[in-house]
Amino acid sequence: MELHDFCSTSRVAIVAGKGGVGKTTVTAALGTAAARAGMSVLIVEVEGKSGLSAALGCPPLTYEEQEVSPGLRARTLTPDEALLEYLEDRGLRRVSKQLVKSGALDVVATAVPGMKDILVLGKVKQLEQSRAADLILIDAPAAGHAITFLLSARGMIDAVRVGPVRKQAEDVIALLSDPARCRVMLVTLPEETPVNELVETAFALEDRVGIKLAPVVINGVPDDLALVGAITAQDAAAAGIGSPAEQRALDAAASFRHERHELAGAQCERLRSLFPLPQLCLPFVFDTIGPAAIDRLATTLTDEIVNLPGSAL
């Protein structure tokens, strides 16, 4: 499958997963890969603590867009600023200023459960409708909050019968339920607990939110290892390892890495049997997640996508 075709499947891709599985890294890598393919990409961070700026090698993100590299832009999205923009767009600039001065902004944003999430998703909907980019990537909250985040619009429909808030919720539901407009890309590690949580999240998103899922990204997969057996004395000598103790330590390290590789492979197979979505695998990165690592991961992700069958989506 061509990378451009993959990234054109939906205009919005929400990247979600259990905390610590690397969803921000995957977001940055996918955005970089799509920009390389000639697409205009906007990455949107919605929690404020994801480390996207460090991964992309750019200044800290703000509500205003900034260009990261050719074709790639990034920004944050906060409920407070989304509400201010919403009011100002409707000629209520003076009201918005008073809300800021009085400290009542947070009270307004939290007056109804789920209101903050609706404000953020409503802005995402606006960006999608205005064609702000060919591909909008959302670095979503961790998996548990992600479900609540994406269910907020349906909760709002039950709570609010008429008015602009209900209309906003209806528009958000229309966005989330249209696979040509929006999909969720789930990220996991090849470990038992993250795989279990991904499966639970996947079923919840499909059944309760009604959103289409993109292929799963399995992050941190150990590479195939040459050091899978005992290290011979000749190998150790060639590597400058002379003592038996050092050779035993090297054997133990090789055995451990081989065991981790086997366990990772077993979890990938288990995920495939539990939830048969196409899988995209990214290797474990030993160095700091910055622009150099993101570039390498973008290349790997591109190769993984190209190897997907055309029917994968």
Q: Extract the residue ranges of the chain whose pLDDT is less than 70.
A: 48-50, 90-113, 143, 224-239, 241-242, 311-313
Kindly state whether residue 266 falls inside one of the protein's structural domains.
Answer: no
Amino acid letter, residue 60: P
Residue-range definition of the domain harbouring residue 141: 3-77+115-225+276-306
Q: 259 by DSSP, 3-state: which?
A: helix
Kindly state whether residue 104 falls inside one of the protein's structural domains.
Answer: no
Give residue 18's pLDDT: 87
Residues 6+ apart with CB under 8 A from 55: 24, 25, 28, 289, 290, 291, 293, 294
Kindly state whether residue 237 falls inside one of the protein's structural domains.
Answer: no
Total domains in the fold of the chain:
1
Give residue 55's pLDDT: 94
pLDDT digits (tens, 9 = 90+) for 1-59: 899 999 999 999 999 998 889 999 999 999 999 999 999 999 999 876 668 999 999 99
CA distance 118 to 101: 23
Kindly state whether residue 182 falls inside one of the protein's structural domains.
Answer: yes
Kindly state whether residue 142 falls inside one of the protein's structural domains.
Answer: yes
**Helix 143-159 / helix 115-129 crossing angle, nearest 10 deg:** 90
Q: Which is nearest to 72 in space by CA: 11, 129, 134, 2? A: 134
Give residue 52's pLDDT: 93
Kindly state whether residue 200 falls inside one of the protein's structural domains.
Answer: yes
Give residue 166's pLDDT: 83
Overall residue count recorded for the chain in this entry: 313
Kindly state whether residue 246 falls inside one of the protein's structural domains.
Answer: no
pTM for the whole structure: 0.86
Give residue 165's pLDDT: 76
DSSP state of 215: P
Give residue 181's pLDDT: 96
Cβ atoms of 217 and 280 within 8 Å: the answer is yes
Residue whose token pair is 């090849």: 190
Give residue 48's pLDDT: 67
Neighbours of 223 (CB within 10 A): 9
- CA dihedral for 160, 161, 164, 170, sign (positive or negative): positive
Could you please report the per-residue DSSP string of 78-120? -HHHHHHHHHHHTT-HHHHHHHHHHT-HHHHHTSSTTHHHHHH
Rounded alpha-carbon distances, angstroms, from residue 130 to 21, 92, 126, 219: 32, 22, 6, 32
Q: Can you read off the two tokens belonging to residue 84?
A: 């201010």
Q: Burial level of 171, CB count in 10 A (0-12/13-18/19+)?
A: middle
Distance of CA 239 to the CA centre of its chain: 40
Give residue 117's pLDDT: 85
CA distance 90 to 109: 17
Domain at 17, CATH number: 3.40.50.300
Kindly state whether residue 152 falls inside one of the protein's structural domains.
Answer: yes
